[in-house]
Structure 1
Amino acid sequence: MEFDVRPAEVFEDVRTLIGPRSPTASVCWCLSHRLPAKVEKQLRGPERGAYVAELCRADPAPGVLAYDGHEPVGWAAVAPRADTAYARSRTIPHLDDLPVWSLWCLRVRPGHRGRGVTHALISGAVAFARKRGAPVLEAYPLDNGDDGGARVDVTMAYAGLRRNFERAGFVYAADTTSVLAGHPRVLMRLDLR
């Protein structure tokens, strides 16, 4: 199945993928790795959605969306690493001084999983970063075993799985000291030059 992947410029579609059911809830909105922790914790309820709405109007957009027809079915956060909390991370190493971009969150709507949306999102994020001049795209997925068979809770799979990035051409670049849902995260890279 083919999905249309576009920059995340339509706030209503972004809200469909990462927004809360209740507008007053203080859910992630995919801001926890985009902002310094102090700023991220100060944004409460509707302020979080308003911040994301501003990001959707900015250039570059805060990521990409996958569509099945006109329906938004997937989200990927992708941005210059320097503009994310990963720029200051003590658990995800910096390998060099290249102005790399980061791909750190993948979300597929229930009812659309297992149909290739994640693969489309990764490919779309690669194209998005390449078009904007990124020399390298990094991801920090879970390493859930040599065969990828160790179960990962769907709510914690937002970082992606190593094997999905390998299928997209990313290569292992380094271990990290980050652990998510009991699985180590690895640093994967794709050279876009």
Structure 2
Amino acid sequence: MYFNKIYFSLLAIAVITGCKPEKKTVSEAKTHDTIHTNTSIEKEPDNPTKHTKLPVVDTTAVLLAFKKASETKKFGKDLSFDIKEDLSGSIFDSERPILIGDLNGDQVDDAIMPFSIEGRDGGNNWDAHYAVFINKDGQLQYQYSFDRGGDLAETQTFFKSIKDGVVKGLEEPGFHFPEGESKPVSYVYKNNKLELISTSGVK
């Protein structure tokens, strides 16, 4: 009977001690909170930025843009002819390269395409130009035509490259002015036009 009393007393103490909640130290509580914070999942923004891949600008894209531009009133006005007029000869210069590169500093490719117009008023003379296209949301949009000389011009301009927003090329003597000299030229696209700059930098 005596042992039973002792047994039940010890059992009661053990049960009470086992059910008592364990106290955490301040250090343990802080450690637990830190771990919880570090393992929490961050909520994604409601409107994530969408990256749209723009179409590639290549020779085919430039030719299609030129074809579309050549059928507009603006193109006809720039070149001083009726777009419905039946011109003999070609309006594409296959001997000069189509240039592709960033002209306006927006990190997407623009384009410059050489072309010539022959047979004005039934004659044999021709005039040569560059069609300038600016890339807007992946579409090449015709801006204007740069006059690069013609059959009777004293000089002719031939562009070679577009690099860092600068169009580089040569100004060469016209066919009827063989005594002239060739010289390097550089242009930048400014105020919706190609403007001549010095070879040492922008004016």
Greater percentage in strand: 2
Q: RCO higher in 1 or 2 (8 Å CA, sep ≥ 6)? A: 1
Report if TM-score (shorter chain) is over 0.5: no
The TM-score with structure 1 as length reference comes to: 0.28
Greater percentage in helix: 1
